[in-house]
Amino acid sequence: MTKKIFTDCVQRLIKTFNEIDLTDQSVYMNWLAQTYYYTSHSEQLLNTFANDSQNLDIKNRWLSHANEESGHENLALSDLKRLGGNIEDYPELQITKDLYEKQVGISKRSSGIAPFGWALALEGLAAYVNDDYIEAISKAHGKKATRFIRVHAEEDEDHIEKALEMVSFIGDNKEIEDNIKLTSDIYCQLLMTCYKIGKSYKNVA
Ligand SMILES: [Fe+2]
């Protein structure tokens, strides 16, 4: 069941990710800024999941993931700067905060188990997003302004395999399933908001 929910949610995420058209510069810059905000919390959030975990394998999994995410927010920020963007012009949205703030309580209540839903949704998107789309985004903005997206599209296939292995070890789990859905809903809303704001910038300009 968890695998089926995972597949459905990732398909929905990829569909929305394609639809907002990140080859459009204003949409892409808004997305980079919001990505910078939420990924600024990833390392600390993953360490919180580790602290909440009682199983040593799960704790170590979160700790190594925290290590891998360290500094990734700087990739998004430097991509934004490359395109002449100033982070102060892009305030953090409430939906962006929802992406990480809700996970603190979810982790505590489930002893670090339910956050696998968060990791699966976000890493599933990164791992399965279409290569041609990444190539088109890279071509539209240049290689130096697409480091965040390229690093994640290339590296996360390994992450997702590790996460799925851990989830099959845990077995079907409603808290993980609910969190895959919640995280996918929030991330789709975040994408749509970046799209709407990006388009409205364009109409004003
Ligand atoms: Fe990352």
- pLDDT tens digit string along 82-123? 999 999 999 999 999 999 999 999 999 999 999 999 999 999
Report how far ligand 1's centroid is from the alpha carbon of 33 (Å): 14
Measured in angstroms, how far is the CA atom of residue 76 from the centroid of ligand 1? 10
* Residues around the ion ligand 1 (C-beta < 5 A): 69, 72
**pTM recorded for the entire structure:** 0.93
Average pLDDT for the chain:
92
Torsional class of 168: left (φ above 0), alpha (ψ -120 to 50), beta (otherwise): alpha
| 154 Ramachandran zone, left/alpha/beta (phi>0; psi -120 to 50) | alpha
pLDDT in tens, 152-202: 888 756 777 777 777 787 888 899 999 999 999 999 999 999 999 988 866
List, in order of start, the domains of the chain with CATH numbers: 2-204 (1.20.910.10)
Q: How far is the CA of 204 from the centre of ligand 1 (A)?
A: 33
Question: How confident is residue 203, by pLDDT bands cut at 50, 70 and 90?
Answer: low
**Triad 26, 30, 32: Cα angle to 5°:** 115
